Amino acid sequence: MSGTHKILLTGATGYVGGKLLERLEMEGHEVNCLVRDPGKLAKTGAKTKVFVGDVLVRSSMWEAFQGVDVAYFLVHFLHETHDFEAMEIEAAENFASMARSAGVQRIVYLGALGNERDGLSAHLRSRQDVGYVLRESSIPTIELRASIVLGEGSLSYDLIRDLTEHLPFMVMPRWVSTKAQPIGIRDLLDYLVHSVDVHIDRDEIIEIGGADRMSYGDLMREYAKQRGIKRLMIPVPVLTPWLSSHWVSFFSSVDASVARKLIEGIKSPTVVENRRARQIFDIEPMGASEAMKQAVQHVSATQVEGAGTLFHTLQPARHHS
């Protein structure tokens, strides 16, 4: 596959999908955006068409798939409080069925790093189960597995930013020491864009990450360094994901139910374990310091006002009653 393509993009109203749409338009591709709420979609280019549909309603996707040769699956249901795993599988099955019927030649999916031997959380397991469904579609599929995305608007980055900005004293439960391999949004978009044309024989699971392995705690320290602020981080032996998600949601824009899913996933290492990405992509990902520097440049004055205390982190329930 080479040249320009007609592409179906799901998730265009989300953080990664919205930025990917801009890149695909810059590359000259025709893009069909499938969205539930077109009002949430930013301004589109002349070669982009918007279709209203829902990946949970198979028939609503048919028109958007017409003439498409590459389809991106960039949806998740983290904000759902019940049965999000079942919803993600159903969405993937619907998507794969429509892609087969429409004659799509390639599927590109953004999933999650993590090894089953480490006991994956429901969120990470669901991300990998979705990849399995898409690979079983009989359509050549590229599944990019990534860890923390460093960029303003990424849920994981927003969590790091908000906690570091608002808490001069931070309790550090054990989950913040687990290793991850964060990737800058610019590098992630490069992988996604080049997945349209890169040669594959069949299906590929490609683990991608930045140049460094770091924990959430390391990333908070790096964020503080980039911002020129001092933060005291105090380790504690026990702080459950449930309790952590509540004090996180108090000081962050990330919803408590979403925060809990993210934190449960942090308990498992999310690092690159094979070099397949280097074999088929001509991409040299940047280190965490440079990626964080680029992300921090977008921090606005309104996001850095105010500060909390360690005492406040221990009493979030009072503010949610």
Locus of tokens 């004659």: 103
Residues 6+ apart with CB under 8 A from 239: 171, 173, 174, 175
pLDDT at residue 26 in the model? 96
Structure tokens given for 101: 């019927």
Say how far apart CA 109 and CA 234 lie, in whole Å. 38
Say how far apart CA 251 and CA 64 lie, in whole Å. 40
Say how far apart CA 5 and CA 27 lie, in whole Å. 10
pLDDT at residue 244 in the model? 63
User: What kind and span of H or E run contains 20?
Assistant: helix 15-26
Rounded mean pLDDT, 220-246: 79
Report which DSSP code applies to 241: H
User: What kind and span of H or E run contains 34?
Assistant: strand 30-35
Rounded mean pLDDT, 44-54: 95
To the nearest whole number, what is the mean pLDDT of the chain? 87
Say how far apart CA 20 and CA 74 lie, in whole Å. 10
- Determine the length of the chain: 321
pLDDT at residue 315 in the model? 33
Of 164, 71, 84, residue with least CA distance to 110: 71
pLDDT at residue 239 in the model? 56
pLDDT at residue 237 in the model? 67
**The pLDDT of residue 253 is above 90:** no
The rounded radius of gyration (Å) of the Cα atoms in the chain is 20
pLDDT at residue 308 in the model? 37
pLDDT at residue 243 in the model? 60
Tell me the DSSP string of 295-311. Answer: HHTT--GGGS-----HH
pLDDT at residue 19 in the model? 96
pLDDT at residue 257 in the model? 77
Of 296, 19, 268, residue with least CA distance to 127: 268
User: What's the pLDDT tens digit per position in 156-190?
Assistant: 999 889 888 888 887 777 778 889 999 999 999 99
User: What's the pLDDT tens digit per position in 92-103?
Assistant: 999 999 999 999
Say how far apart CA 70 and CA 47 lie, in whole Å. 15
pLDDT at residue 291 in the model? 97
Q: What domains appear along the chain, each with residue ranges and CATH number? A: 6-146 (3.40.50.720), 150-182+212-269+287-315 (3.90.25)
* Confidence grade of residue 266 (pLDDT, cut at 50, 70, 90): confident
Residue at 86: amino acid letter? A
Say how far apart CA 111 and CA 124 lie, in whole Å. 8
Q: Is 283 helix (H, G, I), strand (E, B) or coil?
A: coil
Say how far apart CA 187 and CA 194 lie, in whole Å. 11
User: Taking the model in full, what pTM does it have?
Assistant: 0.89
Structure tokens given for 276: 């397949």
pLDDT at residue 92 in the model? 97
Q: Tell me the C-alpha to C-alpha distance, in Å, between residue 108 and each of 44, 128, 133, 263, 307.
A: 21, 14, 13, 26, 41
